[in-house]
Structure formats: structure tokens, C-alpha cells
Structure 1
Amino acid sequence: MEAPATTGNPVEIVLGVPGPWPDTDQIGRAIIGSSERLFFAGAVLIDTQSDLIVELEVVEHDPDLRRAFELSANGRHSEALLEAIDAHTFTLYLVGPGGSVDAAQKMMDVAGEICKAGGLAVKVESSGLSHSAEGWRELIGKKGMLALFEGYVTLVRGDDLFYSCGMHNLGARDASVPGSLPSDEAAVALQGFAQYLLLEDPKLESGSTFSPGPEYPTYRLEAEPCTVFGEGDLLFNPFGWWRLTPV
């Protein structure tokens, strides 16, 4: 899905929820019938509990959607879920404000209501990560910063570095480590650092150091702009990146 037109907010969260609704009229009926908090108004959804207004785009069956969910799973989706996604009739794309923990939680809650209305799974288009409907609802039940991290942030191996993707949804910088590191060591560094940013909100600057634990290397930090993705890309992080280099 292409990035939505800018609305002045530097971050838009986009969540795709496929489902087996027989027609567009049934989408509205399903939402109204299953959710006490969502008001369905055609092109928008209004969450009466948080006053959040979410743009809604309804897209007909996409034959490539199963593959997109296969590639974006953090682990592996069950074959039954993938078959259900392959047979979906519509996908509801929810577009709303991001760039803060509060905004990300509100968007997570709205997508959870769509899952209650028959949604099969959730794909975070603004990070490239996907979850089953059951897994998404479990994250909502957990609440808290780590649940949001698990919901919105993924780790990626590029040509010459490992990096996190999706921290902008929560209002924070992403991070990268050299691609020469062992994958398990890179994952520990990136996950540990991202969670440190979210839980501790430390005051960092270029030259600061970080270590995920006494048995792991220490990394020197360098603040950089996001260059892996261009402006206008849903994966672009306007807050920038931290480059972590072992010292």
C-alpha cells in the first residue's frame, strides 16, 4: 500500500486487516454488531472511547496477500490462517496518526475491534510486520510498552547491516548494527536497545554508549537521519536512526 497523503503529522500508522465479509454492506453491519466503541461512517471510523478518527479504505480481494503475510510474519503463520487470508474478500486499511506510544495504542485497539468483527489478521504496513487476529488481541490484553514493541517493530537483515523497523510508529528512532555481527548477537543488541529507548527514555547523543548486558559488547552510538527508506515511504523514520558500532 502506498503512503497516504501527508496531514501534517510526520508519522501515519497504516494497518491492513483482511476478512471474509461477503460485501461492503456486511462490513459495516459486522463492525456495528460486534463493537460497542466504533462508529462506522463509510470512509472513516470513529472510536468513541478515545475520540480517535481513523481513515478507512476498503480494498477488494488481493491474490498476493497470502504471500505478503507469509513474508511479514515474525515466526510463521499457520497454514489454516494463510488459507483463510488467501480466501479473503476484502481488506480494511486503517490509516491514523502515529508517532507516539499513545497513538500507537489507540490504533492497536481499533484494529482489535476490526478483528472482533471478522478480521483474520493484522499487517502493520508502516513496519512490514503481521500478526494473527488472536495474536493481536493477546498484545492488546498485555498492554504496555513491550506489547507495543512486539506489535509494531520488526528486525531486518539488510545487505550490510541489521536494523529495526517500525520504531517511528511509537515516536522513537530506529537503530542499526553492522551486518558482520552474528545474527543472534545483532538481535540481542537491537531488541535490547529499542526496549531501553522505550522503557527508560534516556537522554542520548552521538558518542553515548550502550550494552545490552555484562556478557555482551558495548556499542558507541551515532545519531543519523533515516537513509534506508525515502521520505513518503511508510517505513521512513522521520525521527532518524541510531547507528550502534561495537567498541
Structure 2
Amino acid sequence: MSNAEEQVTQSILCIPVQCESIDALKILIVGKTNGEYLVAGNILMNSQTKNFFEIQFDEHDEQMQQAFTYAGKVTGISDSCLDQIADHNYVVYLISNDIGLEGARALADAGLAILKTAGLGVKVESAGKAFDRESWEQLVNDDEYDRLFDLFVIYSLTNEDGSVYSCGMHNLGYKDTIVYGEEFQDAASLIRIFCYYQLLEDPEIMPGQTFSPEVGAPVFVIEEESDPPYKDHDLFTNPFGMWKMERVGTDN
């Protein structure tokens, strides 16, 4: 894993809400969480863990339902959730600079607190992935690290050249992965397994090493990707970098 202390990035949640006013929402957050979360200025703080996040409030966004529809395709977001989002009157953004597994867990918990207060759904702006309330809560309440992967990472994006890649691993403090020369389902499965391996084992990976998802399966060589697909997209750019995986024996 790259040295996070040398990198600067953010994890961002977008949460449309239905409430009387921003001031009313701030009061509700305290009441609905029994004082666990407090809002002071542009800071949301967990009074128990002392974790804090930047919090921003915006007015109704006409494009919000469309954005959730697109970002919710991979998660199967419900039509009822999308209908509710169309009627939101404010938008909450939670911004965290605490990148890594523990920071992601804290941000996921904070997002759930806003959902339970007045939230209608959650979109991970720094991955392009959206959830309805029930799905977010179910995943947050599972303590396994792979659930953080399911919350913050997409692993099945495709390029015109047929390569398949992940987006959002920087939310967890790791590089993303791109796979060349494989069928879509095989590539997506390889990316998911490789990402899980990193989250569970935190191995030291060096360019030139090889990886196989299981005994008897194809072997892939790992290299640095010099041209990530979303290098010009501020929210998706991974400052840790991206691993490139190709089957051993493939001509480059």
C-alpha cells in the first residue's frame, strides 16, 4: 500500500434530505442520535469517538434524482427511493480527510446518522455509487472490511478497449486496479478478489509480482498503471495510484 501520509484526497458522501430547514436539521441530528452527533458551524462531530467531518448544506438540486438513478444502477437502488429523492428540499455533503479503513468506517457511520435523521439516500461522490437507506444501513451494520469495499468501491467499470477497472479504493487508502485482456466477468471477479486480498492481508505489493485468485487459476503479473481511466476526474482520481494486471504470457 502506498504511504497515505504523502497523499491528499477526500471521501465525500452526498445525502439528499427532507426537512423543514437547515437549522431544524441540525437540531434533529442531535435529537435523533441522542447527542452522539453534533453540528457546529461547518463541522459534524461524533461526541463519543471525536471523529469529525466537514458538513455542507445545499438547496434542492434538480439533477439529484438523475444522478442517483445512474449511480444506483450497480446497487439496484429502489424506485421508491428515487421517487423520494425527487422530492428532497436540501442536500447534505459530508467530507472526510481521514482516508483509510477506519476513516471510511467513521464516515459510513456518520452517513447513517444523517440518513436516520432525515436522509433519503446516499451517494458516494468519490466513487459514483448510490444506495437507498435500507441497503446503506445493512452494509454499515456489518463489521467486515469487505462491506466497506461494497460501500465505497465499484469494481466493474469498462473502457472502450475492453479493460475492466475499479474506482473508489482511495476511500479505503489503497490503489485501484485495472485488468486487461480478460472477459468482463472474469476481470471483475479478479478485481474483487484482489481488492479483498489487500483489505484483509494488507500485503506489500511490488511491481513485477504475480497474483492468482486460486490454485490452478491463471496467473497475473502486477505492474503500475501509468494512464488511469479517470486521471482527470478530481473526485475519482486515486492519489495512491492504480495496479495493472495482465495474464502472464500476454504480449504487451
Q: Decide: shared fold, TM above 0.5.
A: yes
**Aligned residue in 2 for 1:238:** 239
- How many angstroms apart in 1 are the aligned matches of 2:101 and 2:147? 11
**Aligned residue in 2 for 1:3:** none
Q: Is the 8 A contact 1:99 1:172 kept in 2?
A: no
Q: Is the 8 A contact 1:59 1:91 kept in 2?
A: yes
- How many angstroms apart in 1 are the aligned matches of 2:232 and 2:184? 28
1:138 and 2:138 correspond: yes
Opposite residue 87 of structure 2, the aligned amino acid is A
TM-score for the superposition, normalised by structure 2: 0.89
How big is the shift at 1:240?
Answer: 0.6
Partner-residue secondary structure (3-state), 1:238: coil
Opposite residue 14 of structure 2, the aligned amino acid is G
**Aligned residue in 2 for 1:14:** 12
Q: Is the 8 A contact 1:225 1:239 kept in 2?
A: no
Partner-residue secondary structure (3-state), 2:240: coil
Opposite residue 138 of structure 2, the aligned amino acid is E
- How many angstroms apart in 2 are the aligned matches of 1:83 and 1:34? 24
Superposition pairs for residues 41-80 of structure 1, below 5 Å?
41-73=40-72, 74-80=74-80
**Aligned residue in 1 for 2:3:** none
How big is the shift at 1:119?
Answer: 0.7
1:122 and 2:122 correspond: yes
How big is the shift at 1:66?
Answer: 0.9
What do you get for the CA RMSD once the two structures are aligned?
1.7
Q: Is the 8 A contact 1:104 1:148 kept in 2?
A: yes
Partner-residue secondary structure (3-state), 1:185: helix
1:163 and 2:162 correspond: no
1:152 and 2:144 correspond: no
Q: Is the 8 A contact 2:154 2:168 kept in 1?
A: yes
Partner-residue secondary structure (3-state), 2:141: helix
Q: Which moved more, 1:50-59 or 1:85-94?
A: 50-59
| Overall identity of the aligned pairs, in % | 32
The answer for unaligned runs of 5 or more in structure 1 is: 1-7
State the aligned residue count.
239
Distance 1:108 1:216, change over 3 A: same
- How many angstroms apart in 1 are the aligned matches of 2:94 and 2:43? 9
Partner-residue secondary structure (3-state), 1:175: strand
Q: Is the 8 A contact 1:104 1:170 kept in 2?
A: yes
How big is the shift at 1:225?
Answer: 4.9
TM-score for the superposition, normalised by structure 1: 0.91
Opposite residue 222 of structure 2, the aligned amino acid is L
